[in-house]
Amino acid sequence: MNTPLPEHLQGSATLLEPINQTPKRKLYLESYGCQMNFSDSEIVASILQQNGFETTREILEADVVFLNTCAIRDNAEQRVRNRLQELKSIKRRRPGMVVGVLGCMAERLKSKLLEEEQLVDIVAGPDAYRDLPQLIKTVEGGQKAVNVLLSREETYADVAPVRLDSNGISAFISIMRGCDNMCAFCVVPFTRGRERSRNPESIVAEAQDLFEQGYREVTLLGQNVNSYLWTGGGLKKDNPTEDELKNATTFAQLLAKVAEVNPLLRIRYSTSHPKDMGNDVLETMAKYPNICKYIHLPVQSGSSTVLERMNRGYNRAWYLERIAAIRHYIPDCGISTDVIAGFCGENAEDHEATLSLMEASGFDFAYMFKYSERPKTLAERKFADDVAEEEKTARLNEIIALQNKLSQKSNEQDVGKTMEVLVEGPSKRSPEQHVGRNTQNKVVVFPKGETQRGQYVRVKIDACTSATLMGHLID
């Protein structure tokens, strides 16, 4: 599952000079939800760029406005609904403006969205982005346009993403799409379709190209990257032949290939599934210094009964054993997780089990959510959403308080250490400070001195909060 990010706007990118003098039309893109959506928006921008568009940060000058949406929890959808309300007044001022809803919410609601949100002209699911220029033409011809077909093959492998809002240092590379897992709470298998992996050569070429452009960190993205398997394309579960399996590329092998692009290129990946997190990946991580020592391993719950009901394919003991394996192969590994509070049937004892698992795992960071029932999912069909809202809130608050304590403790252990940091740019607080990350993905702030974006520097940590390490440069 993808790590969720707070949604924010993706703005303009530097695009190629126009070849002819036809004025380019303007595309305004807003992305919500996970990193995969942000990465998909870069594919959308690329497809439209090839069709005479350039991106803009100014919604008021846009010819086309796309919201790339998330459906993972109800509140993610509500945010998009509210944004659509705001767009109404803008559309009144610019009646020719085309409004499209893309991504998971588009896929979930399909043409219902056109009925419910009158100002929407285009509804396009995650596998329909090549069709967007055609959909825009349909709208310009006076009709509404919908394409929510899910594909068995689409990976957009040949589309070179236009990097939006980039710091020029770190970039996402999408390595697979869809998910076959059917976790009981999760809408993703319905919105992003079946799991398929992308050709490894195209992934390595993208990493190489980014490195040559000056990028120094790539994050390989997929809903469940450990399950990556390239056997020549198509669905993962299409039963590859023996020959195909012999020549297959696993996730561990892909990691090694990307790590070999250049020792100065850092590699990260997200998201892992505990049931598929094998020792081969941990061995590869330990072997290559440029593969970051950081794993996001969503646990969801610490109770085996709840995990079973969630259809996660592992239990508490399995998860704790995987944590022990990580610590064995990579003793200094940063580990983060996702936790859901108040899933169907969760009782006080189950909740205590989540707290004790968090404590035992010593997570450095966590994304924490209240369970939100999603239509069509296994949980919606089979179980009652029976934990009261106030109880969900109380449990979530306990989980957050514990994680704050664990993050603080983890950061305090770094005070006094000297670590390598990849400089990302000025910190938000002060232009005199630079911000970057260490291999464990912790944010490090330090007086910038002569350092440049994209440089690896050594920083000695003097102080911390639960979210940030503060230090000074060491020669």
CB of 189 to ligand SF4, least distance (A): 5
Distance of CA 411 to the CA centre of its chain: 24
The SS3 of residue 264 is coil
CB burial class (10 A; 0-12, 13-18, 19+) of residue 92?
exposed
Lookup result for tokens 């919604």: 59
Residue closer to ligand SF4, measured from CB, 192 or 216: 192
**Is residue 301 within 8 Å of 310, Cβ to Cβ?**
yes
Q: What's the rounded Cα separation, in Å, for the pair 395 and 163? A: 39
Residue closer to ligand 5AD, measured from CB, 251 or 371: 371
Strands 8-9 and 25-31: antiparallel
CB of 67 to ligand 5AD, least distance (A): 19
Residue 179 near which of ligand 5AD, ligand SF4, none (CB within 5-8 Å, type-dependent): ligand SF4
**Is residue 168 within 8 Å of 54, Cβ to Cβ?**
no
**Is residue 103 within 8 Å of 59, Cβ to Cβ?**
no
Query: CB-hemisphere CA count at 13 Å for 198?
Result: 23
**Is residue 171 within 8 Å of 209, Cβ to Cβ?**
no
Instruction: Encode 367-395: b = buried (16+ Cβ within 10 Å), e = exposed.
Output: bbbbbbbbeebbbbeebebebeeebbeeb
- For ligand SF4, the nearest residue by Cβ is 1
Residue closer to ligand 5AD, measured from CB, 1 or 259: 1
Binding site for ligand 5AD (CB under 6 A): 1-2, 4, 72-73, 185-186, 298, 300, 338, 340, 369, 371-372, 374
Q: What's the rounded Cα separation, in Å, for the pair 231 and 171? A: 26
CB of 424 to ligand 5AD, least distance (A): 24
Residue 273 near which of ligand 5AD, ligand SF4, none (CB within 5-8 Å, type-dependent): ligand SF4
Binding site for ligand SF4 (CB under 6 A): 1, 179, 181-183, 186, 188-189, 223-224, 273
Give backbone dihedrals phi and psi of 398, rounded to 5 degrees, phi first. -65, -40
Say which DSSP state 235 is in.
B
Residue closer to ligand SF4, measured from CB, 298 or 436: 298
Q: What's the rounded Cα separation, in Å, for the pair 290 and 216? A: 10
Residue 72 near which of ligand SF4, ligand 5AD, none (CB within 5-8 Å, type-dependent): ligand 5AD
Q: What's the rounded Cα separation, in Å, for the pair 45 and 15? A: 10
Amino acid type, 23: P
CB of 191 to ligand SF4, least distance (A): 9
Residue 374 near which of ligand SF4, ligand 5AD, none (CB within 5-8 Å, type-dependent): ligand 5AD
Residue closer to ligand SF4, measured from CB, 273 or 434: 273
DSSP 130-142: GGHHHHHHHHHTT
Residue closer to ligand SF4, measured from CB, 189 or 302: 189
Residue closer to ligand SF4, measured from CB, 191 or 427: 191
CB of 298 to ligand 5AD, least distance (A): 4
CB of 188 to ligand SF4, least distance (A): 4
CB of 221 to ligand SF4, least distance (A): 12
Residue closer to ligand SF4, measured from CB, 223 or 284: 223
Residue 224 near which of ligand 5AD, ligand SF4, none (CB within 5-8 Å, type-dependent): ligand SF4
Residue 369 near which of ligand 5AD, ligand SF4, none (CB within 5-8 Å, type-dependent): ligand 5AD
Residue closer to ligand SF4, measured from CB, 64 or 176: 176
Residue 4 near which of ligand SF4, ligand 5AD, none (CB within 5-8 Å, type-dependent): ligand 5AD
Residue 259 near which of ligand 5AD, ligand SF4, none (CB within 5-8 Å, type-dependent): none
CB of 182 to ligand SF4, least distance (A): 6
CB of 405 to ligand 5AD, least distance (A): 20
Lookup result for tokens 């959808």: 77
DSSP 279-325: HHHHHHHHH-TTB-SEEE---B-S-HHHHHHTT-S--HHHHHHHHHH
CB burial class (10 A; 0-12, 13-18, 19+) of residue 455?
middle
